């Protein structure tokens, strides 16, 4: 047992010290052990801290709970992911309320280059099932994980379809790793642990109480580059996850549906209110995200199809490899004057040699 791990868990047990307070304390003291060693006056000097909160730290004596937790973690080969450690999910670091510590079981790496969260109603229709399965059959599985909440309905369909298509899938839980909820998903969870994982911020003996699910949903939203809402009513966990994904400035997609079907009302509202992009299948999604498969075409072969000027060749060369680049980056690296650059990029677009993407990004046309 590492002393740092002991104090990392202890930090999350202190009354009145939430995730934001913990982040502020860590920014000053560097690690959890130093927080417990700090003097009261040093603690009070930290942003957001008060005499009362500092006293909670100095008076904390529930270390026996930490010891029991560590025994459980070791026995079940569960790892802790502390907010200051490299293995911690990097995307969550951009969330103001990121969990201080996470408990994780499974082989999937959480910092792969592509992470998609899929959420939806517990009482899905056949349409929702088909959309979910079709998407996961069509999307490339390289450097990708699928995240959901292991709930009934769309969540379970997403997990199962990911497994079927050899995509690692991670379930984010609203309780400790000493149980699976709902219990009928025990076998599903076991399958997920072979290539994916189970993740939670809750210690053992934490029940799946109602107030834990919004906390779970913020992790589902924060872990991903994009969240796709398949089917949902106007209220419920999926809408909470969607709102959180929007607040975290993540890409948000919603599947449109019949205006007469209550299970589509939430998705339709997200699209109507311009909070979510209209989901139109895997090809459209991949294009929007800039995740299309790259074709291995020699760079010189492309030039044969176009008669590029010297200025156009400079920009085309900067875009070689088919990686999208921002217009600002291209301009700075080209060394061209603003007028010459503008004329060259426009000419390349008119020749259909480059494509303009959302966010003022450009890439070579494949």
pLDDT per residue as tens digits for the range 296-346: 444 444 444 456 888 888 988 888 766 788 887 888 888 888 778 888 888
Assigned domain for 201 exists: yes
One domain for residues 167 and 308: no
**Quick one: pLDDT at residue 303?**
40
- Residues recorded for the chain: 366
Q: Which of 55-64, 148-157, 349-358 is predicted least confidently?
A: 349-358
One domain for residues 149 and 30: no
Report which DSSP code applies to 202. Answer: P
Q: Which helix (H) or strand (E) holds 137?
A: helix 126-138
Q: Is the pLDDT confidence value at 215 over 50?
A: yes
One domain for residues 83 and 156: no
One domain for residues 122 and 178: yes
Between 194 and 326, where is the model more confident? Answer: 194
- Contact call for residues 75 and 47 (beta carbons, < 8 A): no
One domain for residues 63 and 98: yes
d(CA 351, CA 291): 23
One domain for residues 249 and 124: yes
Between 236 and 198, where is the model more confident? Answer: 198
Assigned domain for 8 exists: yes
Edge-to-edge strand order for the sheet containing 79-82? 79-82, 101-105, 197-200, 169-172, 144-148, 114-119, 226-229, 251-254, 277-278
Assigned domain for 28 exists: yes
Q: What is the CATH number of the domain that holds 63?
A: 1.10.150.20
Assigned domain for 294 exists: no
Average pLDDT in the chain: 91
Where among 234, 259, 289 does a domain terminate? 289
One domain for residues 278 and 224: yes
Assigned domain for 99 exists: yes
One domain for residues 14 and 87: yes
**Quick one: pLDDT at residue 304?**
41
Q: Per-residue confidence at 174, pLDDT binned at 50, 70, 90? A: very high
**Quick one: pLDDT at residue 70?**
96
One domain for residues 150 and 285: yes
One domain for residues 258 and 186: yes
What is the extent of the structural domain holding 57?
Answer: 3-104
What is the CB neighbour count within 10 angstroms for residue 123? 12
* Cis, bond preceding 150 (omega within 30 deg of 0): no
Q: What is the CATH number of the domain that holds 125?
A: 3.40.50.450
197: β partners: 170
**Quick one: pLDDT at residue 184?**
96
One domain for residues 221 and 321: no
d(CA 133, CA 137): 6
Where among 261, 289, 317 does a domain terminate? 289
Q: What is the CATH number of the domain that holds 340?
A: 1.10.10.10
Query: Beta strands of the chain (E only): which ranges?
Result: 79-82, 101-105, 114-119, 144-148, 169-172, 197-200, 226-229, 251-254, 277-278, 325-326, 354-357, 361-364
Distances (CA, A) of 48 to 22, 75, 96, 328: 10, 37, 14, 38
**Quick one: pLDDT at residue 366?**
64
Q: Beta strands 354-357 and 361-364: pairing type?
A: antiparallel
**Quick one: pLDDT at residue 307?**
67
One domain for residues 270 and 142: yes
| Structural domains in the chain (count) | 3
Where among 226, 254, 289 does a domain terminate? 289
For 100-105, what is the mean pLDDT?
98
């Amino acid at each position: 047992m590492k002393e740092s791990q002991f104090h990392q868990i202890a930090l999350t047990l202190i009354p009145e010290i939430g995730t934001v307070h913990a982040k502020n304390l860590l920014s000053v003291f560097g690690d959890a052990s130093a927080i417990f060693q700090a003097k009261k006056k040093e603690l009070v000097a930290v942003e957001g801290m008060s005499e009362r909160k500092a006293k909670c730290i100095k008076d904390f004596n529930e270390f026996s709970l930490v010891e029991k937790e560590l025994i459980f973690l070791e026995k079940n080969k569960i790892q802790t992911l502390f907010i200051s450690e490299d293995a911690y999910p990097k995307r969550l670091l951009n969330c103001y309320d990121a969990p201080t510590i996470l408990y994780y079981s499974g082989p999937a790496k959480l910092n792969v280059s592509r992470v998609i969260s899929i959420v939806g109603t517990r009482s899905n229709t056949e349409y929702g099932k088909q959309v979910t399965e079709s998407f996961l059959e069509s999307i490339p599985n390289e450097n990708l994980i699928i995240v959901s909440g292991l709930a009934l309905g769309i969540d379970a369909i997403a997990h199962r379809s990911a497994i079927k298509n050899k995509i690692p899938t991670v379930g984010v839980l609203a309780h400790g790793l000493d149980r699976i909820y709902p219990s009928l998903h025990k076998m599903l969870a076991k399958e997920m642990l072979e290539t994916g994982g189970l993740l939670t911020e809750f210690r053992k003996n934490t029940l799946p109480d109602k107030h834990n699910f919004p906390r779970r949903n913020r992790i589902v939203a924060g872990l991903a580059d994009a969240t796709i809402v398949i089917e949902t009513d106007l209220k419920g966990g999926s809408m909470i996850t969607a709102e959180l994904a929007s607040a975290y400035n993540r890409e948000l997609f919603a599947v449109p549906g019949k205006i007469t079907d209550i299970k589509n009302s939430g998705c339709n509202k997200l699209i109507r209110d311009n909070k979510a992009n209209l989901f139109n299948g895997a090809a459209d999604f991949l294009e929007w995200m800039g995740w299309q498969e790259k074709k291995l075409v020699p760079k010189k072969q492309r030039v044969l199809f176009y008669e590029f000027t010297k200025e156009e060749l400079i920009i085309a060369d900067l875009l070689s490899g088919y990686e999208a680049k921002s217009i600002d980056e291209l301009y700075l690296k080209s060394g061209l004057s603003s007028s010459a650059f503008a004329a060259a990029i426009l000419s390349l677009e008119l020749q259909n040699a480059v494509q303009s993407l959302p966010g003022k990004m450009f890439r070579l046309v494949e």
